[in-house]
Chains A and B, each alone.
Chain A
């Protein structure tokens, strides 16, 4: 569904050259939920922009739904960290969700139904006529998620979507994303720097090294698929996985392609 093959990205200026990604290589299977974690400055944003077709890699390819990415691919929806800057403040909530569907040339009646369904999914059926700035940060991010699922993407990319909301809202939104993934079976790649969040959400975690970045390790999260903020986080296995991942991230802070391949 999502294949990243030997991706390399060099930022070149006249005098200097900075290698953000060395050789990033992984796949996300159809219907899988994968979290991507890495220390700060591990090229997560670069990788995400390459996957979303917003940036050209120096070498290597990204394939979404078996098609090579050159420019923003069909069937990919992106949820940004900066919800306030991703929704259009001059459009009402329903219009924000509807806009990408117009581009897909979906007939008006079906568009309306999809918008209503997506808003109901995120619990905002009563805010369709509000403007984004009339809603709280958590609710705005729900709108961005509704816009993404109304689009019915093959792949859903989320870039640290909950980094800017408070802890309680964050827990609610994590459960919402799990629920959407389970109900709609959308292939999801969720970028985060939060270890607990990665273990709680994912079926598998991909750990990135520092720059120049490679995939340092992949971890299977063998927790029961029904997850709950209290009981799942209280499981001994949760603590073990969390511990392992923490250790792995600590290692990643000093590891990069230079030390790992040497």
Chain B
């Protein structure tokens, strides 16, 4: 009953929005804003025809692959580097202003530069996604590592835990709520950069497909591409939420206990 109710609450607004779109656009004659009905009619032929050769599989896979590799590699580098910077005040003092500067550079401006030396293949797109994801994860990791409780650190020291064990059993779990917050930001930046890098110079991928349709004035098809991208973002966010709530079960439990006390 509770679950049914929460699903109802989650779906209520999307249903209202889609219905509104449907009704308002129903007799649209505007070439740029075709009716939702026409867009949905164009959807199956555009994305699903061809089975394993369909656009959804081929271009979807190309995009998701670039996003995933960039995001995962960025996470590994950012957590490793962030832990190091967070643990060593000296290094932090040198790095922090520079990191803030790099973070302020908008990711999309990197596309032409990286294109110069990494070409227009997968490598370029992965590097763009990676560099975009890196900063939020890195800075959040540094903050999380810095904020580890001093009594816990003294406990680990007094029981003579080795540096490796201290990092694995204390520093990383303690910083994990912030690391995951950084990863969530990084993921949404990554999706944006994935699309932009594909729009710029590519031969496949979702961003490429959308631009391709636009250039050929296949506007209902272009709109279906935007719907696919929206759904991709939704799926990514759902998967991330599942991952987050599983990793941070202790954290949510602790906060609930503190609130009830």
Residues on A facing B (Cβ under 8 Å): 52-54, 72, 74, 76-78, 80, 82, 85-86, 88-91, 99-100, 102-103, 131, 133-134, 151
Contacts and interface: CB of A to CB of B under 8 A. Distances in A.
B254 A100 contact: no
B115 interface: no
Contact of A103 (B152, B160, B173, B176): B160
B257 A99 contact: no
Given A80-B151, A90-B173, A99-B169, A133 B253 contact: yes
A202 to B, nearest CB: 22
Contacts of B169: 88, 91, 99
Contact of B161 (A52, A78, A100): A100
B149 A85 contact: yes
Interface string B223-252: 000000000000000000000000000110
Q: Lowest 8 A-B CB distances belong to which pairs?
A: A100-B159, A85-B151, A133-B254, A90-B173, A90-B250, A78-B158, A133-B257, A86-B155
Interface of B: 149, 151-152, 154-155, 157-162, 165, 169-170, 173-174, 176, 250-251, 253-254, 257-258
Nearest to A85: B151
Nearest to A102: B165
Nearest to B159: A100
21 contacts: A53-B157, A54-B157, A72-B158, A77-B158, A77-B159, A78-B158, A80-B151, A80-B154, A80-B155, A86-B151, A86-B152, A86-B155, A88-B170, A89-B254, A91-B169, A103-B160, A103-B161, A131-B254, A133-B250, A133-B253, A133-B258
Contacts of A54: 154, 157-158
B158 A52 contact: yes
Contacts of B160: 72, 74, 100, 103
A82 B151 contact: yes
Nearest to A148: B159
Given A103-B161, A103-B162, A78 B257 contact: no
A88 B173 contact: yes
Contacts of B250: 89-90, 131, 133
